Amino acid sequence: MGHALRIAAESDVLRTHPRMTFQAGAYSYEIVSDGQQNSYRVSDGKETIREPILYAFGNAHVAQTYVYRRNEKLYEARVSYYTAIDGLDWTIGDVLNPPPSLEEAAGRDISGDEARNCFSCHGTAAVVNTKLQLERLIPGVTCETCHGPGGSHAAVMLLAPGESLYIFNPKKLDAETLSQEFCGACHRGVDTVAMMPDLGGINNVRFQPYRLFNSRGHDPKDARLTCTACHDPHEDLKPGAAVYDSKCTACHAPRGAEQANIRTPGKTAAVSSTAKSCPVASERCVSCHMPKVELPGAHFKFTDHRIRIARQGQAYPY
C-alpha cells in the first residue's frame, strides 16, 4: 500500500520505459520520459494535447494509471500501463468508441469528489476538511492513513506518557464495520457498490469487501470473516493458494475431522466449528472456493472473494 501512489518522477515504470505508444483509430497516444519530465501526448493527426504527468497511481503489480492537470482540472489518462503486456492499453472503464473529441480522447475529468476519493485512498493527508490540498500530499498509504495523525501521538508520548495514545486502532472495530466501512471505504463495501450501479457486473470482482459480504454463509459479525483475518495490512500480499489454508480451517474442520476447536480473535474460550469439512481436498482451498476471474481489459485475473463452491463453466455470480 505504500506504493499505491507516486509522484511521476518516482515511478519505476516511467523511468524504465522512455517511450510508450498506443493507437486507437484516429487517435495516437504517447508517454515519453526523458529523465527530467514525463509527458503525456494525444493526437488526432491535426492537433495534439501535451501535458506533464503529475501522478502515477498503482504500483504496477497489475497496472499503473496516470493523472495530469489541464486548464486547472485534474484528468485521468485514457490509457494505462499494464504489467502483463508491458505496455499501454485503455484505462479500465475508459474505452470510448470512438471518442467524441480530442479532449475526451485524452482524459477523463476527475476533479471534485472523484479526485478526493482517489487521493485519499491512494495517498495520505491530501484531504483536509473535505478539501483536496495536494501540497500536503504524502504519496502512498502510510501509517497515518489508518491510525490517524502521528504528530498528536508523538507529542502526548513526550509530554504525558500513559495518557491517551491518540492513535486509532481499527482492530477494535466490530467485524462488519471493519470490513465493510473501514476497509470498504477504499476497497468498496456492499453499501458503496449498491449506491453506484456503474460498479456492477464483472467489474465488481475487484471489490473484495463487497464480494466477501455476498459469500455463501457469510456472517458479518464473525471476526473470522473480516479482511484482516486473512490479510495483514502491514505486510505485502502473500501469493500462493496454500498460504491461506489455515485461515479456512479456522471455520471449516480439516478433511476427515468431525469438528475442530478454534479460537475467535478476542475470545478466550474455545468454540466448536460447525462448518463442514471439504470432501474433495485438504489444501489449496482458495483455488476452488475463491476462483481467479479475468477482468476484460485488465490483463489480470483477480481473486474473487465471494467464497463459494465454484464449478467449472459456472457463470460469474453478480
- Give 303-313 pLDDT, tens digit per residue: 999 999 998 88
Q: How confident is the model at residue 162 (pLDDT cuts 50, 70, 90)?
A: low
- 178-188 confidence digits (pLDDT tens): 999 999 999 99
Residue-wise pLDDT tens digits, 51-91:
999 999 999 999 999 999 999 999 999 999 999 999 999 99
For 102-119, what is each residue's pLDDT tens digit? 999 999 999 989 999 999
Q: How buried is 142 (Cβ within 10 angstroms: 0-12 exposed, 13-18 middle, 19+ buried)? A: middle
pTM of the model: 0.88
* Residue at grid coordinates 449506491: 195
Q: In percent, how much of the chain has pLDDT > 70?
A: 92
* Chain segment 195-246, per-residue pLDDT in tens: 887 777 899 999 999 999 999 888 889 999 999 999 999 998 888 888 999 9
- Looking at every residue in the chain, the average pLDDT score rounds to 88
In whole angstroms, give the CA distance from residue 92 to residue 96. 11
Domain ranges of the chain: 5-120, 170-303
- pLDDT greater than 80 at residue 120: yes
Q: Measured between alpha carbons, how far is 80 from 218 in angstroms, rounded to an integer?
A: 35
Angle (nearest 5°) at CA 108 between 107 and 113:
145
Question: Interior CA angle at 63 toward 248 and 178, to 5°?
Answer: 40
Residue of higher predicted confidence among 96 and 37: 37
Q: For residue range 250-288, what is the model confidence (pLDDT) as tens digits?
A: 888 877 665 444 444 444 333 445 678 888 888 999 999
Q: How far apart are CA 304 and CA 226, in angstroms?
A: 15
Residue 251 or 164, more confident = 251
Q: Where are the alpha helices (DSSP H) in the chain?
A: 12-16, 102-106, 113-122, 143-147, 150-159, 175-176, 184-187, 190-195, 208-213, 227-230, 245-248, 286-289
